[in-house]
Structure formats: C-alpha cells, structure tokens
Amino acid sequence: MTRVLSGSAVAKEIRAGVTAAAERLSAEGREPHLAVVVATADESTAAYVRSIGGAARKCGIRCSVVDLGPDATSIRIRSELEALSADPAVHGIILQTPLPPSADFDTLASAIDPAKDVDGANPLSLGLLAARLPAFAPATAEAVMVLLDHYEVPLSGANAVVVGRSTVVGKPAALLLLNRDATVSVCHRRTTDLAAHTLNADVVVVAAGQPGLLTGKHVGANTVVVDVGTNVEADGSLIGDVDFASVDGVAAALTPVPGGVGPVTTALLLQHTITSASR
C-alpha cells in the first residue's frame, strides 16, 4: 500500500500560524506586504499569481501585483525590483516566471534584497544556503523538506535522489537534503540510467518538468516519492512528473499533484513574508 502524503493539512497548519502573526504585526502598524513582479501575459501564470494573492489576503498579508507587461525590458524589471527592495513598507518580493525572452532570471533576481527574497531567487540566497548561513530557501525546495519532516521520513544517512538540477528547485532541494545528512545524488537530462539511481533511493524528489518521467519501474517498496512537477495539461488540469497510477501500489509513499508540494509552497511564501516583516 502506497501512502499518499497530502500537503493540504500541512499548508493549513502553516497558514494558521501566519494568520496569527500577521494580525499581531498589523496591530503594531507593520502590515506584512508581499509584492509579486509579473512580466508575462501567460494565463496560467496569472492564475497562479491570483492564487498567491488570495491566499495572502486570507491570512492578513497585503499582496501587490506589479504587472510590467510582456514587453518589459530588463532595465525596467531591475529598477522595479530595486525600488521594492528599498521600500520599507514591502517585506517580500517575488519575481514571477516566465520573463520576456530577453530577460535573464538569475541576473534580475540578484536585484532582490536577500532580506526580502522570500522565494530564494537571488543566487546569493543559494550560496548562503550552501554555506548553511541564514537565508530564505526557494519555497518549493523548502516545501519538500517540510513535507518529509511532517510525515517523519528519516533523512540522516538516507539515500536521496533529486531528479532535476534547476536553480529554483533541484539544486536547492539537493542542498537542503545534504544539510540534513542525506547522501544525495542529482540526476538530470544527461543521466544515462535514471532507474539505476532511483531504485537505490530511500527518497526521490522529482523536479524535471516532464510528465510521466518517474514510473513504478523506477522505485522500490521502501521509496518515498516527492513529486514537484506542475505540468499544465491541454484541458487546464495539473499533473506532476510522476506517473501516479504506476507508482501507486509500488512505492512506500507518494505526494499527489495537485495537493502535495504546491499548497505547502504557497504557505511558505507567506511564512517567509512574516519572518521578513518581523525583523
């Protein structure tokens, strides 16, 4: 029997703490404020940003969407990030992807003040994380850890495989697992035999943006699978990177999509904003 590790209850618990803290801060005249910078006309991005805004407001966090439009130049985006970084009334800044083709995410994210970098997007935050210094981890990577901890999955000495090496998910997830004394392998597009790695793993984190990448053939009876994939199907529905039906019944545990890592990620973005506003 494969245990389904839901993120919804975990997210609810985090949001309850956020709501209480937001109320306290607002009473002190420090209303927590999250700014999301958008430079795309993509509808699924707009829906995601609306969901962050809705979740923030429900918890008592002000959320401003700064929509620069799909033709925004790098200079314009950078100056907005600098202005928000300098604004004492703003506590959290998210630079939403995708960006216009001419804009480089990592370069622009370096304009976000690390103290307000609630989604760990500034490459400096990744460096701080690697050095085990205080920094905001990318919320998705941290959500993986929060889920594993919530369901008491042992990490010290465990074999962990991260599939995907992106700066926003794969790499930080690998660092966070390493910081918890897991033995970490990172697989990617050029990995020749994915199953050889994952079959040996206690924990597999899949963040490749490839629907159906991980199947029942890739996992053993003791494997815990965390599916970070968020792929939008033609009909608008969301599916992960894991072939749920084929892994279900084989692995020990599996996070669902939707309802797994996603809700925890959003809750952590809000929690990070509270942490920033509390300083």
State the nearest-atom distance from the C-beta of 97 to ligand ADP, in Å. 8
Q: Is 194 in the site for ligand ADP (CB under 6 A)?
A: yes
7, 138, 164, 263: which one binds ligand ADP (CB under 6 A)? 164
159-163 and 183-187: which strand pairing?
A: parallel
- By the 8 A CB rule, do 5 and 260 touch? yes
Q: Is 251 in the site for ligand ADP (CB under 6 A)?
A: no
From 67-75, 80-88, 168-176, 196-204, span contacting ligand ADP (CB under 6 A): 168-176
Q: Is 3 in the site for ligand ADP (CB under 6 A)?
A: no
Angle (CA) 104-108-114 rounded to 5° is 140
Q: Could you please report the per-residue DSSP string of 144-206?
A: HHHHHHHTT---TT-EEEEE---TTTHHHHHHHHHHTT-EEEEE-TT-S-HHHHHTT-SEEEE
State the nearest-atom distance from the C-beta of 124 to ligand ADP, in Å. 19
Q: Is 168 in the site for ligand ADP (CB under 6 A)?
A: yes
Binding site annotation covers 57? Answer: no
Considering beta carbons, is residue 111 or 163 the nearer one to ligand ADP?
163
Binding site annotation covers 164? Answer: yes
For residues 82 and 70, give the distance between their C-alpha atoms in angstroms, rounded to a whole number: 19
Q: Is 166 in the site for ligand ADP (CB under 6 A)?
A: yes
With tokens 């216009």, the residue in question is: 100
For residues 46 and 101, give the distance between their C-alpha atoms in angstroms, rounded to a whole number: 18
* Tokens matching residue 9: 């209850």
Q: Catalog residues that contact ligand ADP under the rule CB under 6 A.
A: 163-166, 168-170, 187-189, 191, 194, 207-210, 213
Annotated binding site for NADP(+): 164-166, 230
Annotated binding site: 164-166, 230
